[in-house]
Amino acid sequence: MITLYDMERSGNCYKARLLFGLLGVEYKKHTVDLSKKEQMEPWFLAINPLHHVPVLDDAGTIIRDSNAVLVYLAAKYDAARTWYPASPAGMAEVQQWLAYANNEILNTLAAVRAIGLGLRPGNLAEAQEKASGVLSVLEASLTGRNWLVTSHSTIADVACYPYASLVSMGGMTHDAYPAITAWFKRIEALKGYVPLPARPVAKA
């Protein structure tokens, strides 16, 4: 059985859960309680010295980092290599978007959500302005096409989708981004789609 070391609220963990759903692969969730600093406990550091979730344990093969988990699952459980195209140009084009997801998107779109939800300090208006620039690049890249890479969905879409959508929790709308909005709908209509992490319930 495959175990995903997971945190419900994390957009990076969600990427793995989404791909499990899309591939129709069964797995077991092991929630890591970051509020109790479980990620710093010796048992967790032994599987990921970088103390981040998600981590995958597939019968002893341990994979850390959300992009690496996507590459692993797509290469291992999609024999047709639809989700991670096998051609050099296909792999490299996906890689461009994995980098965009881990840098530009994580540093701006994920920040808008985290600041908006009060999960971290920061200037929301400033974060939103940077986020607009990143959304504009996505919008331009999706204009006139259905998916980020090739003519079908790939792990590039899985990697970029969550935080692009979740900026709504940081007070942004997608009204100015029709191509992104249409892309969201296409992703959300895929067989096996898994809902995004819910907005946390405000504490009384």
Q: Can you give the binding site for its own copies, defined by CB under 8 A?
A: 49-50, 61, 63-65, 67-69, 71-72, 75-76, 87-89, 91-93, 95-96, 98-100, 102-104, 137, 140-141
Between residues 34 and 91, which has the closer beta carbon with respect to its own copies?
Answer: 91
SS3 content of the chain, % helix, strand, coil (to 5): 55, 10, 35
Question: Which residue in the block uniquely carries the two structure tokens 């024999």?
Answer: 79
| Both tokens assigned to 188 | 């959300």
Cα-flanking dihedrals φ and ψ of residue 154, to 5°? -135, 180
Nearer to its own copies among residue 46 and residue 201 (C-beta): 46
In whole angstroms, how large is the CA radius of gyration of the chain?
17
Q: How far is CA 3 from CA 16, 69, 123, in A?
A: 11, 12, 37
Q: How far is the CB of 143 from its own copies (least distance, A)?
A: 12
CB of residue 201 vs its own copies: minimum separation in angstroms? Answer: 31
Nearest-approach distance from CB 190 to its own copies, in angstroms = 22
Nearer to its own copies, 38 or 93 (CB): 93
Residue closer to its own copies (CB basis): 6 or 58: 58
User: Would you state the structure tokens that stand for residue 82, as one six-digit string?
Assistant: 């639809």
The residues facing 36 across adjacent strands are: none
Phi first, then psi, for residue 65 (nearest 5°) are 85, 130
Q: How far is the CB of 91 from its own copies (least distance, A)?
A: 5
Instruction: Report yes or no: 111 and 95 within 8 Å, Cβ to Cβ.
Output: no
CA–CA separation, 79 and 69 (whole Å): 16
Tokens of 148: 């980020």
Is the CB of 140 or the CB of 176 nearer to its own copies? Answer: 140
Q: How far is the CB of 189 from its own copies (least distance, A)?
A: 27
